[in-house]
A and B are shown apart, each in its own frame.
Chain A
Amino acid sequence: MAAEIRLEKVRKAFGKVVAVKDMDLVVEPKEFLVLLGPSGCGKTTTLRCIAGLERVDQGKVYIGGRDVTVLPPSRRGIAMVFQSYAVFPHMTVAQNIAFGLRMRHTPKEEIKKAVKEVAELLQIDELLKRYPSQLSGGQRQRVAVARALVMRPEVLLMDEPLSNLDALLRLQMRAELKKLHREVGTTTVYVTHDQIEALSLGDRIAVMREGEIVQLDTPNEVYDRPATVFVAGFIGTPPMNFLRAEVKGSNGDVYLAVGDFAVEVHEEWREQLKEMVGETLILGIRAENIEVKSTPEEGALPAQVVVSEPLGSQQLLTVQVGNDVLKVATSPDLSVVPGQIIGLVLTKKKIRLFDVASGKALKFE
């Protein structure tokens, strides 16, 4: 039922633009994998290569162990939900859902039963006789998902299925998709540029950039331990803060100098950092991993408040440290005014260090 997807050295170019660069990827059976990245990073092309809507230039595509590289979409055992939903306007909802089964020459009685079942699952059984023009965006979306699920595909592919819905509906459908995946258990590849969606839905997230996977990990790993500056800056609202820091040593100890301020480092990193004294690194820290002291005090990085935004559950401060601008999340009860000098305490364990030239995170063994 649920199949493994394997891409081996898949390459796809459009003219001179290489959309997918020699990609290797394995999606486990029943896994929900999210392809995440900014527009133009090749995530949709990757999905279309799996679907068979694009022919790969090089490499192999396997679904359930079967080499499907040259097979048309109809013979790959996939189903797809399109960004535009692509619901057929000249057919009723029932005809839309039944379309794929009819192509398979499933007996009429069976089709009827399957359509009814999947329509109930997606709560559109009241709408079966309507035409798509009589449906709302959210309802069309459900029809598109139902049409894909009724095929009982080995692999379900979704191309930004929620991006055309309004914010509230998106939130609701997101939870529903997750529940649906748990119930149906089909291997799913889901393309999105919305990192919140990726974090909330994925078993694993593949963060893509310029046709390559930059990081493939669980949502928590991707969030807490981004592999590159790009990933750190792409994921999270607000994205990770970056400070320039120089590795300095004194009396056998080692610390990171942000301007004149010395940031203490994790014990486990010391040995390795000692060998890097004199180098400049990028220090990354998330907004919620910074503690705010309302006055500058010993051991706290002094910063000037630029803007404070109350966001209900938290308060987001924009502060300036030297030339760097940081976002800091604090309790909404803390009262600060723009211009005020405050102190920041960085949570040692949550600091992430990146190489300036490559942008890659330093690995500490």
Chain B
Amino acid sequence: MSYPRILRRTFLYMSVLTFALWVLVPILFIGISSFTPRNEIYKWPKPLLPSHFSLDTMQFFLNSYGVLSSLLNSVWVALLTLAFTLAVGAPAGYAVARFYFRGREGFRLGILVTRMFPTALLAVPLAVTFIRWGLYDTLIGVALIHTAMALPFAVIITTGIFMGVPKDLEEAAMTLGCSRFGAFARVALPLALPGLAAAAMFTFVISWNEVFAATILTVHNRTLPAHILTTIQASPLYFRFAGGFFMILPALFFMFLIRRYLFHMWGGATAER
């Protein structure tokens, strides 16, 4: 290996390492702290590992006022978002993958435009509109906003997934007696299912992690991130650690499960037919 190449490699790996530590170290500390007995968290100098593993802090967090109800709200909102997003996003992805229609490329690009405007910019008009429509401070309202946020990703991911299912297979099913829809349901859908599951989890996590819109659009029916955000300033340190760790969990779990599909999706989305 030539000298400049070694240098480049070293630089690359150092950067990767830095970024990895940048993300991982806080997660590690939050994780450790949330399983540290409450009184040990304030100790100085702080030991790297707690004296013993304890569920005490987590328990305190989960039993705090409003946590359980907002957790339920979060789950509901995420599930609603999931249902809305898949109901609209999967057929859209299928259409983009299978059919040639006027403005297809425009559609693929246009769908990303919806992510161009920061939520902060839309906050006031959204709140006003939601109050007018009677959606303000409702779970459905939050789910609708989350759907709007997740939809572009859902369409792009499902497009990649359905492009990965050869058209021939559906046509073969049609020559064997299936209708257009039957061919989709019996052949394309089962083959796309693992990928769709990944897209579903992705959507779930987007909704689960979303703070801003959820905070502005609710007062009493807070989702968990909105609840934590609004109470965190007045909370003890161990509450923050436990809350933080609890919020990270689904995302971590999800990442481990779908790494494979993420690669597939990016490969599939760039490989045009």
Contacts and interface: CB of A to CB of B under 8 A. Distances in A.
Contact of A100 (B166, B176, B180): B176
Contact of A99 (B173, B190, B191): B173
B18 interface: no
B255 to A, nearest CB: 27
B191 A80 contact: no
A39 to B, nearest CB: 17
B172 A82 contact: yes
B191 A73 contact: no
Contact of A82 (B171, B178, B179, B190): B171
B175 interface: yes
Contact of A80 (B169, B172, B179): B172
B75 interface: no
B50 interface: no
A104 B175 CA distance: 12
Range, interface on chain B: 10 to 19
Contact of A86 (B172, B178, B179, B182): B172
B168 interface: yes
Given A84-B168, A86-B168, A103-B182, A74 B175 contact: yes
B187 interface: yes
Contacts of A83: 168
Contact of A72 (B179, B187, B190): B179
Secondary structure dominating the interface of B: helix
Range, interface on chain A: 20 to 34
B179 A74 contact: yes
Given A84-B166, A103-B182, A72 B191 contact: no
A53 B169 contact: no
A212 B54 CA distance: 80
B251 interface: no
A89 B173 CA distance: 12
B148 interface: no
Interface string A149-165: 00100000100000000
B169 A86 contact: yes
Interface string B153-182: 000000000000010110111111111101
Contacts of B171: 53, 73, 80, 82, 86
B264 to A, nearest CB: 15
A51 B174 CA distance: 10
B175 A88 contact: no
A16 interface: no
B168 A82 contact: yes
Interface string A71-87: 01110001110111010
Nearest to B187: A88
Contacts of B176: 74, 79, 99-100, 103, 147, 151
Interface string B47-78: 00000000000000000000000000000000
A82 B190 CA distance: 21
24 contacts: A51-B175, A52-B174, A53-B174, A53-B175, A72-B180, A73-B174, A73-B175, A74-B179, A78-B175, A80-B172, A82-B168, A82-B171, A82-B172, A86-B166, A86-B171, A88-B169, A90-B190, A90-B191, A100-B176, A100-B177, A103-B176, A103-B178, A103-B182, A147-B176
Interface of A: 51-53, 72-74, 78-80, 82-84, 86, 88-90, 99-100, 103-104, 147, 151, 157
Interface of B: 166, 168-169, 171-180, 182, 187, 190-191
